Structure 1
C-alpha cells in the first residue's frame, strides 16, 4: 500500500510506503523512536526521508545502505 504526499526532501509529490522490517529495526536501534509502525518512507529513487503522516516536521533520514538505486536499464540511452 502506498499513499501520495508531498516529500520535503524531493520538494514534490511522491508515493510513500510503510517502513519495512529492516528499516524499522534501524530506526529503533538509532534510539529516537520506540514505536515505528506509523512511519512512512518516500519511494523516490535516492530519497531516504521517513516521517509520520500528518507530522511532516517530525521526520528523519535513513542511512545510505537503504538508498534505492535506479533500475539498471533506466541508465541506458
Structure 2
C-alpha cells in the first residue's frame, strides 16, 4: 500500500493499491503509452481514481459501476 495525493479526495494523503487484472485491462486501453503496472488505485470508499505511482498528474478515473 502506498500513500499519495489524490486529486479526487483532497485532504490528507490517501492509500493506493495495485490494480486488479480487470483494472489493468481498462488502463491499458486508456493509457496505451504506459505499462498498467505503473498505475495504482485510490482505496478511499467511492473514489474511482487511478494514477501513475510516481506521478499523480498522470491518471484518470474508472467509470462508475454498472447498475444491474
In structure 2, C-alpha distance between the alignment counterparts of 1:55 and 1:6, rounded to whole Å: 10
1:44 aligns to what? Answer: 44
Higher relative contact order (CA 8 A, sep 6+): 2
Q: Which of structure 1's runs of 4+ aligned residues deviate more than 4 A? A: none
Residue correspondences, number: 64
- Give the root-mean-square deviation of aligned CA atoms: 1.7
Q: Normalising to structure 2: TM-score of the pair?
A: 0.81
1:20 aligns to what? Answer: 20
Instruction: After superposition, give the CA deviation of every residue in 1:42-65 in whole Å (9 maximum; x if it has no partner).
Output: 000110111112211111111112
In structure 1, C-alpha distance between the alignment counterparts of 2:37 and 2:46, rounded to whole Å: 22
Bigger Rg, structure 1 or 2: 1
In structure 2, C-alpha distance between the alignment counterparts of 1:52 and 1:4, rounded to whole Å: 12
5+ residue gaps, structure 1, are: 67-77
